[in-house]
Amino acid sequence: MHRFFYLFFLSPFLLHFISPNLASESDHKYSQDESVTLWVNKVGPYNNPQETYNYYSLPFCQLSGGNGNAAHKWGGLGEVLGGNELIDSQIDIKYRKNVDKSTICELELDAAKVKQFKDAIENTYWFEFFIDDLPLWGYVGELHPDKNNDNTKHVLYTHKSITFRYNEDRIIHVNLTQENPKPLEAGITLDMTYSVKWIPTNITFGRRFDVYLDYPFFEHQIHWFSIFNSFMMVIFLTGLVSMILMRTLRNDYAKYAREDDDLETLERDVSEESGWKLVHGDVFRSPRNLVLLSAVVGTGAQLAMLVLLVILLAIIGMLYIGRGAIVTTFIVCYALTSFISGYVSGGLYSRSGGKSWIKSMILTASLFPFMCFGIGFALNTIAIFYGSLAAIPFGTMVVVFVIWAFISFPLALLGTVVGRNWSGAPNNPCRVKTIPRPIPEKKWYLTPSVVSLMGGLLPFGSIFIEMYFVFTSFWNYKVYYVYGFMLLVFLILVIVTVCVTIVGTYFLLNAENYHWQWTSFFSAASTAIYVYLYSIYYYYVKTRMSGFFQTSFYFGYTAMFCLGLGILCGAVGYLGSTLFVRRIYRNIKCD
């Protein structure tokens, strides 16, 4: 456990001064014949991105003799959570020094090792290396047709050809080519070799990561068309909401606010009147399960600000370059934005007449983290059982808990106190009646459940194409870098969600159903249901994942993502509906 505290707080400073190799990697500058470290990371089935294991879980020979003396490179919090474990391969590589062919080691094969390698080759195992923070990938081996019979034979690649491209004192690009396949047979010894070639280039250091970006995929015309299509949907929806609602409300206001009518005409109009005006005495009644509603709305407001902040940081800082940088940024920003969840939740809870604000604050601070912890704990148990690098070390769990307990929770408490005092005073436009008004039965399409389910269709339609690109980048080894697209899609999602939820709330109030709070939340949150249904389609149609391990991680991570998306959209929908409801009832005459 102490090792992980050193990992996160001390080792970056110590390694900078102690190890000249790591010092070179920190500034990416090398001198002639200076050592360049090749770090081995992980290995696993290519079709199962999360099912990864330690590179030496396969019986590759180690120059350290397998005694565990090889140096480890401990990364940040996000890197560990991403299942990375970098080990010094101890292969002798010098800056700008070519190596024609050199032996890494002699690999003696027995029946057990042959079986491990054959199983890996049959499951299309790939591996990942890093040199100067640049990734290299390759396959362990492959199946070759046997010329002597109709069967196939397993061959293991025994030579690694590494090509460097450099610009003065910096490495720009690294390429790995697997060569010299040898058949696997027990009792033989294979020479594992490597070669190194250095080639100068004019590419600048700032553009060295461009080779990993798939421009034709992410900047395809369909991506631009989807943004344009979603933008047109926003214009259509906002125009529709403005035209229908404001025109209808203007007529309602005109009829309801008449002062020159005689008493008999006014009483006849009121007796014949129906719709949202009749529930003005109940529309601001405290919703059921107020503690839970305030908690999810506060958490959703925090997640909305968190997503916006991380996207902006990713655009400015190109976070996709660093291993685990996005995850680390997300965790730190989540902790720092906890004030927002407390402020929104505390204000909402106090305005609605809640008394147990401490209970509301604790639920707000712990609801989403503990839901993620529950899913993560189940997945971590599976990863530990499989011996995968996806298993989160206990020390890392402690670090995450400390961040929550000493940063996130106090900020949520502070936000709740400030929210109660600054925005917690009740200021409803209409007074709540003592006796609740009975809710009449309406047609099936005006029931809260139908309104809630239908409300998520258009928001899902606005992000449908972007979900494909996000899923493909996460589950199919593509680097997602078009955060400008993501920012536009996120803003479109917020606008569409608010517009759709306002329409649903207006229809519900016209049906004389004043339980709009939870309906507006679920109407927007149902977007996550459609995203999860899409993820099921994507799993079976767009991927070749298999096995209990990968299936559990796929649907577990997707459930975690959809929970956050649902809470975020639900909060946006509720807050938009709240502004709308307060606006329309502010302009009518009510006691």
Predicted confidence at residue 15, as pLDDT, reads 34
Residue with tokens 């958490």: 299
CA dist 382 and 369 (Å) reads 20
Give kind and range of the element (H or E) at residue 153. Answer: strand 152-167
pLDDT in tens, 234-275: 888 788 777 766 776 676 666 666 654 544 554 455 444 557
Q: Is the domain of 467 the same as that of 514?
A: yes
Question: At which of 380, 404, 435 does a domain end?
Answer: 435
Q: Is the domain of 489 the same as that of 530?
A: yes
Whether 277 maps to a domain, the answer reads no
Structural domain range at position 127: 34-210
Q: Is the domain of 420 the same as that of 470?
A: no
Q: Is the domain of 55 the same as that of 182?
A: yes
Return the amino acid letter for 310: V
Whether residue 210 contacts residue 246, with contact meaning beta carbons closer than 8 Å, is answered with no
Q: Is the domain of 431 the same as that of 457?
A: no
Whether 175 maps to a domain, the answer reads yes
CA dist 251 and 584 (Å) reads 12
124 class by beta-carbon count within 10 Å (0-12 exposed, 13-18 middle, 19+ buried): middle
Whether 486 maps to a domain, the answer reads yes
Whether 279 maps to a domain, the answer reads no
Mean pLDDT of 279-302: 93
Predicted confidence at residue 322, as pLDDT, reads 77
CA dist 171 and 45 (Å) reads 29
Whether 263 maps to a domain, the answer reads no
Whether residue 84 contacts residue 324, with contact meaning beta carbons closer than 8 Å, is answered with yes
Predicted confidence at residue 232, as pLDDT, reads 82
Q: Is the domain of 367 the same as that of 237?
A: no
Bigger pLDDT: 131 vs 477:
131
pLDDT in tens, 532-566: 999 999 999 999 999 999 999 999 999 999 999 99
Total domains present in the chain: 3
Whether 21 maps to a domain, the answer reads no
pLDDT in tens, 16-58: 333 344 557 778 899 999 999 999 999 999 999 999 999 999 9
Q: Is the domain of 184 the same as that of 231?
A: no
Whether 270 maps to a domain, the answer reads no
Looking at every residue in the chain, the average pLDDT score rounds to 87
554 class by beta-carbon count within 10 Å (0-12 exposed, 13-18 middle, 19+ buried): buried
Whether 49 maps to a domain, the answer reads yes
pTM: 0.88
Q: Is the domain of 94 the same as that of 64?
A: yes
Question: Lowest-pLDDT range, 47-56, 62-71, 126-135, 277-286?
Answer: 62-71
Q: Is the domain of 320 the same as that of 394?
A: yes
Question: At which of 152, 183, 210 does a domain end?
Answer: 210
Q: Is the domain of 385 the same as that of 307?
A: yes
Q: Is the domain of 547 the same as that of 400?
A: no
Coil, strand or helix at 25? helix
Q: Is the domain of 71 the same as that of 132?
A: yes
Alpha-carbon distances, residue 291 vs 294, 348, 350 (angstroms):
5, 10, 10
CA dist 480 and 564 (Å) reads 20
Question: At which of 435, 462, 481 does a domain end?
Answer: 435
Cα 278 from chain centre: 44
